[in-house]
Structure 1
Amino acid sequence: MSVLDLARPEIRTLQPYSSARMEAGGGQIMLNANESAWQPVGDMGLGCNRYPDPQPAALVQALAQLYGVKHEQLWVGRGSDEAIDLLVRAFCRAGADAILIQPPTFGMYAVSARIQNAAVIEVPLKADFSVDAQALLAAVTPAVKLIFLCTPNNPSGRSIPRADIEHLAAQLAGRALVVVDEAYVEFSDQPSVANLIDRYENLAVLRTLSKAWALAGARIGSLLAHPDVIALIRRIMPPYPLPLPCVAAALAELAPAGQATARENVAIVREQRAIMRSALTRIPGVREVMPSDANFLAVRFDDAGTVYQRLLQAGIVVRDIRRYRQLEDALRITMGTPEENARVLTVLSEARA
């Protein structure tokens, strides 16, 4: 059975839109796309008067090398959010198919499904925020086409063991596409599962440059998957998903100097995460600082609402995650600079003085 048998049949046979950039390569005089012949003010040589390559070869090559996959196993778009949305649209028939998630988890999986009118089946994480693999497998029905696994999990910060992911991919072969969201994997000791794609054609991986690579504003995310899945996504992607300035920013960050800086910053975050976890446990009113493999800490408080407001009054914005199941007393604190983190500790300590 091909992984494409899980996709919507009408998408498999869809005649994709053919943009001007897809139909022809470059030339000396470009008169095929109804573009302006003049570069805009402040263009700085980017050529923003021209439509960009739908899948810029240099960026695809750089990301494929970074993630250790072949270029035909990678699609790049506007953040992981766009990849999630396109996967749901490609695999889930409105009113008929479903996705499976493990709350508490990243909210866009369910949002994308509901926009598509696909059902959302929930198998809650265990009390320690680990995945209940047995319950997950038992909940999979023929309607389930996509299973989203977030590791490290947002908002808890806990990772899913590689062995569990491989077990689920093997058990669900021919039944569902297992989508592993690794937005925070650079901050974890656990390596990516991207090297399992060749072994399991029903395994896909989401990666992003928004977190460890400091490009949240550029919106560059990747889908790593079997070439047939990538080709399917390319059928339904927008004609020109990647703005030229964003591509330029990504290529600069992925150059040797950019990679070196990013890795230095990741090391600082990991160090600060340990410092903050230790310090927060000693502050009165803190019930628990949950272990995290991401660039944030989920912290339980005696009175999370009051703590949130005190931090806000001090000009510090953290994430209120009390709406999530099992986290009704928690706030999520992203690791900032050492100075910013020290300020958080000062405000929390002063509030209890």
Structure 2
Amino acid sequence: MNGFASNAPSAGVLELVRPDLRGFGGYKSARTEALRGDVWLNANESAWANPADADAVCRRYPEPQPAALRAALAELYGCTPEQLLIGRGSDEAIDLLVRVLCVPGRDAVVISTPVFGMYAVSARLQDAPLIDVPLRDTAQGFLPDLAALADAALAGAAKLVFLCSPTNPTGHACALDEIAGLAGRLAGRALLVVDEAYVEFSDVPSATALLARCPNLVVLRTLSKAHALAAARIGVAIAAPELIAVLRACQAPYPIPAPCAELALAGLAPAALAQTRQRVERIREERSRMHEALEGLPGVRRVYPSQGNYLLVRFDDADRAFATLLSTGVVVRDQRAAPQLGDALRISIGNPEQNERVLSALAVREAAA
């Protein structure tokens, strides 16, 4: 278990929730009532559909947690529906977790930069102290110091530790035994939140396999990346059912628009899933090809190994590389303001034609230099 052993007192996951929110019922909307009828006059909805709503999908409020979509997502992710909360992308789950767990000004959040910025944003909005245990830049890539993460969380009275795996923007994925060991160190003291937005592209399996033995584990998944449904804003938190119930009580009444739920459900049909798996494999192949090709370009200082659908690249002159790509219509993510990444760009893996445009633009730049 990577040298980890649990020495924290055991405690139910609800003991980590803010005391004032334990047992909180939240808002009871018209769709949460278990009522049956054929004339619905309880939610002040329009009796007529909007002229632009040809299928009359939108005149009524949607299901707060669409049952069919929840069942399909639970099957996809290997959990029960009771372990799963659907939200507006992973962003909503991150925000809910910070608000539900952290007493403002007291309970801390632990992150490892460089990393996805929403963890720090949500902590700031909740006035939760932020503890940063930076990633280590090694020959194997940017790696988290898991022992230091646990030590910092325990010493800093943290309630949440965010572990992005594969990490955005650096690309490393943690092994399951490492995640289980860290969760064990934090047991009874903090939740470990593993953000798996890119796990479909990874060789490492999902941490949902650990939920049965790690009650303080939360796994975040999304349809935005591998499933190509970013605009639908469908993300999930997977955790102990009692924690999911608290998160739902603190969520907005109608978080999932009906058209988005219908689109997501169609995107999880067998034929769509089969095509998604093929495209994921194509991205993985292109990732390997791009890694090798970028490494061979003059002016490229380092290409980091990645388990996501992107590559982090250091340049001798990142400003010029960014401007050159932009001048040819190619937009990449500028990482130079992020800690430890003053010379780096993150390049998403596109289709083969898009990837060739990246390589061609950078090659022309170096030839001109």
Residue aligned with 1:54, SS: coil
Gaps (5+ residues) in structure 2?
1-10
Instruction: Quote the offset at 1:46 in angstroms.
Output: 5.2
In structure 2, C-alpha distance between the alignment counterparts of 1:290 and 1:233, rounded to whole Å:
36
Q: CA 1:23/1:314 → structure 2, altered by over 3 Å: closer, same or farther?
A: same
Question: Equivalent pairs: percent with the same residue?
Answer: 56
Instruction: Tell me the residue number matched to 2:146.
Output: 133
In structure 1, C-alpha distance between the alignment counterparts of 2:97 and 2:119, rounded to whole Å:
10
In structure 1, C-alpha distance between the alignment counterparts of 2:360 and 2:212, rounded to whole Å:
49
Gaps (5+ residues) in structure 1?
none
**Retained in 1: the 8 A contact 2:147–2:182?**
no
Letter in 1 for 2:330: I
Residue aligned with 2:31, SS: helix
| 1:182-331 → structure 2 map (5 Å cutoff) | 182-331=196-345
Q: CA 1:26/1:258 → structure 2, altered by over 3 Å: closer, same or farther?
A: farther
Instruction: Tell me the residue number matched to 1:31.
Output: 41
Instruction: Quote the offset at 1:326 in angstroms.
Output: 1.9
**Stretch deviating more after TM superposition (19-28 or 81-90):** 19-28
Q: CA 1:123/1:11 → structure 2, altered by over 3 Å: closer, same or farther?
A: same
In structure 1, C-alpha distance between the alignment counterparts of 2:132 and 2:252, rounded to whole Å:
30
Is the aligned partner of 1:351 residue 2:365? yes
Instruction: Quote the offset at 1:45 in angstroms.
Output: 2.3
Q: Quick one: which of 131, 135, 139 aligns to 1:121? A: 131
Letter in 1 for 2:319: G
Is the aligned partner of 1:150 residue 2:160? no
Instruction: Quote the offset at 1:27 in angstroms.
Output: 2.5
Instruction: Quote the offset at 1:142 in angstroms.
Output: 5.8
Letter in 2 for 1:86: L
Task: Render the CA deviation track for 1:138-191: whole Å, top value 9, x for unaligned.
Answer: 212362000000000001011112111010011111010000000000000100
**Retained in 2: the 8 A contact 1:142–1:175?**
no
**Retained in 2: the 8 A contact 1:46–1:244?**
no
Q: Quick one: which of 9, 15, 21 aligns to 1:11? A: 21
Instruction: Quote the offset at 1:315 in angstroms.
Output: 0.6
Is the aligned partner of 1:86 residue 2:96? yes
TM-score (norm 1): 0.98
Residue aligned with 2:174, SS: coil
Letter in 2 for 1:207: R
Task: Render the CA deviation track for 1:248-278: whole Å, top value 9, x for unaligned.
Answer: 1100100011101111111111011011111
**Retained in 2: the 8 A contact 1:88–1:116?**
yes
Q: CA RMSD in A?
A: 1.0
In structure 1, C-alpha distance between the alignment counterparts of 2:310 and 2:227, rounded to whole Å:
15
**Retained in 2: the 8 A contact 1:144–1:176?**
yes
Is the aligned partner of 1:109 residue 2:123? no
In structure 2, C-alpha distance between the alignment counterparts of 1:164 and 1:240, rounded to whole Å:
37
Q: CA 1:46/1:178 → structure 2, altered by over 3 Å: closer, same or farther?
A: farther
Instruction: Tell me the residue number matched to 2:193.
Output: 179
In structure 2, C-alpha distance between the alignment counterparts of 1:133 and 1:52, rounded to whole Å:
41
**Retained in 1: the 8 A contact 2:50–2:56?**
no
Instruction: Tell me the residue number matched to 1:96.
Output: 106
